[in-house]
Homo-oligomer: A and B are copies of this chain.
């Protein structure tokens, strides 16, 4: 009655220093010969499908392998864990690693029959790539010059059409919020009409992916000739629009394909550039911009609190 002898299994035994990293399959192979039949079955199942086993309880795994709970626990001990619970945690970790390991399949184009989850992954990956490329390819000198011009501008006009028009509006909204005078123009006629009003000290920005959108180039040309500081945000650094641009900000675009038109990925890069312009200007005009930023932040924070549930 005195001797309560616990089954301490061999293997990594009582004082195993490291529980186990990720080389679980290897350990299973190493220890396999010294295992009994039942334990072996459990160990095999575990090594074969870590993810699946991680989802099972002791009882579940016991049933799956046609053994008992006790055997499952014994297996866990043999593999160096204090109990099944810990083995299960390690298994979950292993599964996560395996999952993250294989993911280079995103490089393919989006196909018509791709499952929706793949679409999400591919699109996200693609836009991330666009961001990285644009950031890397952005000429900070040009950017700094554009920011300086904006920060000191009397007024700013932004031209863009189609998808680029939305980017133009985005920039305008932000600049307005920190006290600058900015307008976005999508209507070519109105754009030119307004461009005539510009003069030295004003800024005109043209946003066009192709760099060849006449309706956007024209107002920029007018502004340029009027003496305004002109900026082009384009994906084609050698295109026509740059002829009338004092500063050229280049966006990178990833491969386009049938299901992912150029407009889609260009937009991402354009927005990054526009954000950089905005933050740059906000830094330069911090004294004036800070209250406005704080105000909009406050407004939002208030909203959040008022919606506790």
Residues of A within 8 A of B (CB): 22, 33-34, 54, 88-90, 92-97, 100-101, 110, 112-114, 116-117, 119-121, 123-124, 127-128, 131-132, 134-135, 138, 140, 143-144, 147, 162-163, 166, 169-170, 173-174, 210-213, 236, 238-240, 256, 258-264, 267-268, 271-272, 275-276, 278-280, 282-283, 286, 290, 293-294, 296-297, 300, 303-309
Contacts and interface: CB of A to CB of B under 8 A. Distances in A.
Nearest to A239: B307
B307 A240 contact: yes
A191 B112 CA distance: 33
Contacts of A119: 276, 279-280, 283
Number of copies: 2
A112 B286 contact: yes
A123 B250 CA distance: 16
B267 A268 contact: no
Contacts of A94: 96
28 contacts: A33-B305, A54-B89, A90-B92, A94-B96, A100-B101, A112-B283, A112-B286, A116-B143, A119-B276, A119-B279, A119-B283, A120-B272, A123-B275, A124-B131, A124-B135, A124-B272, A127-B275, A128-B128, A170-B267, A210-B307, A212-B306, A236-B307, A240-B307, A258-B293, A261-B293, A262-B297, A263-B300, A264-B275
